[in-house]
């Protein structure tokens, strides 16, 4: 059985400064791609590379020498037409008598052409697995690296543009791997053999003409391709922009409908596509000029060689077969020359496509494990923040000396106005960011000194905005522990008080939840998130405003499930609605990045400070909502929807 290679870690990602479509970076790029083409632990793939190159070399030799059969067939047919005897002046003496027959020479010429195609196809078949292996490994490396990048990077990303960068980059890798390894070097070999044949058969003058033609062709191709790179970049940028706008618009489909802005979205997309249209048009137009210029150079070189041959025939120095042969050789030469142009063009365009992908791979991970980091050992689960300072921007501090402790198995709530820094605390505990100063620890272990995987395995999160994968309910619940059994999955759903809802669905746990879980209500998504966290069974739990987006009735049901989940777990509750934290062991009140009050619910009310004023305002809002519900109930027993109201049955 073939052992799979392990892709390089994100830390070994190529440096973006080494990949550019502006410089002679082809060899550098090949140097970076070579470990994927020639993997050290895959001898089967190495064997395929060797066999593919051998097949290609045989094809090149057949290509170069097949015009000889064309020459000999022409000379033999000319002799037949004139009634003369084919002699050693026209046909080599070493040819077998049976092969001197014109029909056999024609057959030999066509067999050679078939062999050329056959060996080329064998090359492609042998190298297919090698090329696709390299593509898969590098795509996997990029995907892994994206997940290793910081939250700061992903908050600024554009999903549609990012996916298009990866798509083009993978295609660019495939082109560079295939064209350079399989065709670049062997084509140079073909040029060398072809030059030797022309020199031997026709003389040094022909070699000079052909050499000038190749140099002129190559120079023109390089200069034109360099000019086209800037156009290709503009086309790529506009393509990325258009794709980003399309994805963003579709992800926000409901918002577009709410405001009736379909036309606005279409115009934004069309504006980006107009730029792409212009750049793409110039790309194809410039390609036409490139192809035309190449054809002119080839035509001039071919005409000169054929004129020289025609004059040699008139002087009795060459035969008609020689005239046919030089034409066939130049036609054969035009194929690799056209391919050299195509090769250079594709490699440069591949490098342009790779620029963004390699820049992505060169993006450093902000949060990394320290050398020698150990796994987190959780004994009780005590969480401690000690004089923690943090800022996203140095000119805008978020946390200013936060200190508190969540004892093992206890519940601490953090409340405060928007922008006070509540959610930042959970991000520091998960180590999405590192504290600017101070420290965060679990059971005395600084979170910066342990592995990120073990840290996050010990913490469960129920967020305010639950986003589900576009898969089944079972998949989304099992995401908490992918190896969980079906019985464990159902038990978690029962604890989250969602099992009866799921089992009532036609497809049960196999029900698809749609993009971002949009087929489920807010309460249903939140219960799935709770079930997912229950299945994970972490010793530490974070509830980040887990019910603030829900109506009062759903909030009470969800809160009951959360209370059950948080039993015997170290729980940090980040709350907007104070009614959800009245039973917390301690409540911290944040304002402008500082703890301004702390204590239990009743103590804070008695203190008559910020917490008491927030409680009073929320109580007034709740009473107003209840009065609105009572005033807007219709005779059918259902509530007419108002602000924060919900459709619940009333008693008559």
DSSP letter for each residue of 408-458: TT-EEEEE-STTSSHHHHHHHHTTSS--SEEEEEETTEEGGGB-HHHHHHT
Q: Which of 315, 335, 362 is the last residue of a domain?
A: 362
Reported confidence tier of residue 29, pLDDT bands at 50, 70, 90: low
Reported confidence tier of residue 79, pLDDT bands at 50, 70, 90: low
- Residue 639 in any domain: the answer is no
* Residues 231 and 315 both lie in one domain: yes
Cα 26 from Cα 465, distance rounded (Å): 46
How many domains is the chain partitioned into structurally? 3
Q: Choose among 619, 617, 572: nearest CA to 414.
A: 572
* Residues 125 and 173 both lie in one domain: yes
* Residues 111 and 186 both lie in one domain: yes
Q: Can you name the residues that pair with 393 across neighbouring β-strands?
A: 396
| CATH code for the domain in which residue 486 is found | 3.40.50.300
- Residue 651 in any domain: the answer is no
Count of other CB atoms within 10 angstroms of residue 500: 9
**Residue with more model confidence, 227 or 96:** 227
* Residues 507 and 567 both lie in one domain: no
* Residues 55 and 132 both lie in one domain: yes
* Residues 296 and 402 both lie in one domain: no
Q: What's the mean pLDDT in 186-197?
A: 76
Of these ranges, 102-111, 132-141, 309-318, 542-551, the one predicted with the greatest mean pLDDT is 309-318
- Residue 2 in any domain: the answer is no
Cα 440 from Cα 100, distance rounded (Å): 90
- Residue 372 in any domain: the answer is no
Reported confidence tier of residue 81, pLDDT bands at 50, 70, 90: low
* Residues 400 and 295 both lie in one domain: no
Cα 227 from Cα 20, distance rounded (Å): 15
Of these ranges, 9-13, 244-248, 634-638, the one predicted with the greatest mean pLDDT is 244-248
- Residue 633 in any domain: the answer is no
Q: Residue 292, exposed/middle/buried by CB under 10 A (0-12, 13-18, 19+)?
A: exposed
Cα 598 from Cα 589, distance rounded (Å): 6
- Residue 547 in any domain: the answer is yes
pLDDT of residue 636: 45
Of these ranges, 339-343, 430-434, 641-645, the one predicted with the greatest mean pLDDT is 430-434
Cα 258 from Cα 266, distance rounded (Å): 16
- Residue 370 in any domain: the answer is no
* Residues 315 and 433 both lie in one domain: no
* Residues 524 and 618 both lie in one domain: no
Does residue 477 contact residue 487 with C-beta atoms inside 8 Å?
no
Q: Which domain holds residue 524?
A: 468-537
pLDDT in tens, 527-556: 888 888 888 889 999 988 766 656 666 667
Q: Which of 362, 395, 423 is the last residue of a domain?
A: 362
* Residues 333 and 399 both lie in one domain: no
DSSP 201-250: HH-HHHHHHHHHHHHHHHHHHHHHHHHHHHHHHHHHHHHHHHHHHHHHHH
- Residue 296 in any domain: the answer is yes
Which region among 258-262, 541-545, 579-583, 594-598 has the lowest average model confidence (pLDDT)?
258-262
Residue 90: pLDDT above 60? Answer: no
* Residues 139 and 219 both lie in one domain: yes
The DSSP bridge pattern shows strands 459-462 and 540-544 to be parallel
Reported confidence tier of residue 596, pLDDT bands at 50, 70, 90: very high
* Residues 173 and 243 both lie in one domain: yes
Reported confidence tier of residue 396, pLDDT bands at 50, 70, 90: confident
Q: Which of 294, 329, 362 is the last residue of a domain?
A: 362
């Amino acid at each position: 059985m073939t052992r799979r290679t392990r892709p390089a870690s994100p830390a070994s990602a190529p440096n973006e400064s080494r990949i550019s479509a502006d410089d002679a970076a082809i060899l550098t790029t090949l140097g970076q791609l070579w470990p994927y083409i020639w993997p050290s632990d895959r001898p089967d793939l190495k064997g395929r590379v060797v066999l593919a190159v051998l097949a290609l070399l045989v094809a090149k030799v057949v290509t170069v020498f097949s015009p000889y059969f064309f020459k000999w067939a022409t000379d033999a047919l000319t002799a037949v037409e004139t009634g003369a005897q084919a002699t050693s002046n026209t046909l080599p003496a070493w040819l077998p008598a049976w092969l001197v027959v014109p029909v056999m020479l024609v057959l030999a010429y066509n067999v050679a052409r078939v062999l050329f195609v056959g060996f080329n196809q064998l090359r492609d078949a042998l190298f297919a697995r090698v090329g696709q292996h390299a593509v898969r490994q590098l795509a996997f490396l990029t995907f892994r690296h994206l997940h290793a990048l910081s939250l700061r990077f992903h908050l600024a990303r554009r999903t549609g543009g990012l996916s298009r960068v990866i798509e083009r980059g993978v295609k660019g890798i495939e082109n560079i791997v295939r064209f350079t390894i399989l065709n670049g070097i062997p084509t140079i070999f073909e040029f060398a053999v072809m030059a030797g044949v022309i020199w031997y058969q026709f003389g040094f003058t022909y070699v000079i003409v052909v050499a000038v033609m190749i140099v002129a062709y190559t120079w023109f191709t390089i200069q034109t391709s360099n000019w086209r790179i800037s156009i290709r970049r503009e086309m790529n940028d506009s393509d990325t922009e258009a794709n980003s706008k399309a994805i963003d618009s579709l992800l926000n489909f409901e918002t577009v409908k709410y405001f009736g802005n379909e036309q606005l979205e279409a115009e934004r997309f069309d504006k980006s596509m107009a730029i792409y249209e212009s750049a793409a048009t110039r790309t194809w137009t410039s390609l036409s000029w490139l192809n035309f210029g190449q054809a002119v150079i080839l035509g001039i070189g071919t005409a000169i060689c054929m004129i020289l041959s025609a004059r040699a025939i008139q002087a009795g120095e060459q035969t008609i077969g020689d005239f046919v042969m030089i034409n066939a050789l130049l036609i054969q030469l035009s194929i690799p020359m056209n391919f050299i142009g195509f090769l250079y063009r594709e490699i440069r365009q591949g490098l342009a496509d790779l620029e963004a992908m390699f820049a992505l791979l060169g993006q450093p991970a902000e949060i990394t494990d320290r050398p020698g980091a150990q796994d987190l050992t959780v004994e009780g689960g005590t969480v401690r923040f000690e004089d923690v300072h943090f800022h996203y921007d140095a000119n805008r501090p978020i946390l200013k000396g936060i200190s508190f402790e969540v004892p093992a198995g206890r519940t601490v709530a953090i409340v405060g106005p928007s922008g006070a820094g509540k959610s930042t605390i959970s991000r520091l505990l998960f180590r999405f960011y590192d504290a600017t100063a101070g420290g965060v620890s679990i059971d005395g272990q600084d979170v910066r000194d342990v592995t990120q995987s073990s840290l996050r395995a010990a913490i469960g999160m129920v967020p305010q905005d639950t986003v589900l994968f576009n898969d089944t309910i079972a998949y989304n619940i099992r995401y908490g522990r992918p190896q969980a059994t079906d019985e464990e999955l159902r038990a978690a759903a029962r604890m989250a008080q969602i099992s009866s809802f799921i089992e009532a669905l036609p497809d049960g746990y196999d029900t698809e939840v749609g993009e971002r879980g949009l087929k489920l209500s807010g309460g249903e998504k939140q219960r799935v998130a709770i079930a997912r966290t229950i299945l994970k069974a972490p010793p530490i739990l974070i509830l980040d405003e887990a019910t603030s987006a829900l109506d009062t009735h759903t909030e009470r049901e969800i809160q009951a499930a959360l209370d059950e989940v948080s039993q015997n777990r170290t729980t940090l509750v980040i709350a907007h609605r104070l009614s959800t934290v009245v039973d917390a062991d301690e409540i911290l009140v944040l304002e402008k990045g500082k703890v301004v009050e702390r204590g239990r619910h009743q103590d804070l009310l008695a203190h008559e400070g910020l917490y008491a004023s927030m409680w009073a305002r929320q109580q007034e809002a709740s009473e107003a909502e209840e009065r609105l519900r009572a005033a807007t109930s219709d005779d059918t027993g259902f509530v007419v929807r108002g602000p924060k109201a919900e459709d619940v049955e009333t008693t008559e």
